[in-house]
Amino acid sequence: MELSSSKKAEAKKLGVSVQELILSDLMSIGYGEVDAYSIAYPEDAVLSAQMRQANRMKIMSKVSFTELCEKRKMYNANILEFSGDTADIELIDNDMTAKEILKIALRMPEGSKERGEMFMKYADLTRKNDAITEESTDAINFYFPVKCFQCPLLDAYNSYLKQHKKKEIRPVEMETIIKNAEPIMEKARKKAGV
Task: Report CA dihedral (108, 132, 86, 31) to the nearest 10 degrees.
Answer: -60
pLDDT at 63: 86
- Res 54: pLDDT: 92
Residue 164 confidence (pLDDT): 93
Phi-psi region of 165 (alpha: psi -120 to 50; beta: other; left: phi over 0): left
pLDDT of residue 119: 85
How is residue 149 annotated by DSSP? G
In the prediction, which pLDDT does 1 show?
60
pLDDT at residue 163 is higher than 90: yes
| Residue 121 near residue 115, CB atoms below 8 Å | no
46 pLDDT exceeds 80?
yes
Summarised one tens digit per residue, pLDDT across range 82-128 is: 555 555 566 777 778 888 888 888 887 788 888 888 888 888 888 87
> Mean pLDDT over residues 160-185, rounded?
87
Q: What is the pLDDT of residue 78?
A: 63
What pLDDT, on the 0 to 100 scale, is given for residue 85? 55
pLDDT tens, position by position, 60-85: 888 888 888 888 887 766 665 555 55
Give residue 162's pLDDT: 92
CB contact at 8 A, 57 and 9 = no
pLDDT, residue 89, reads 61
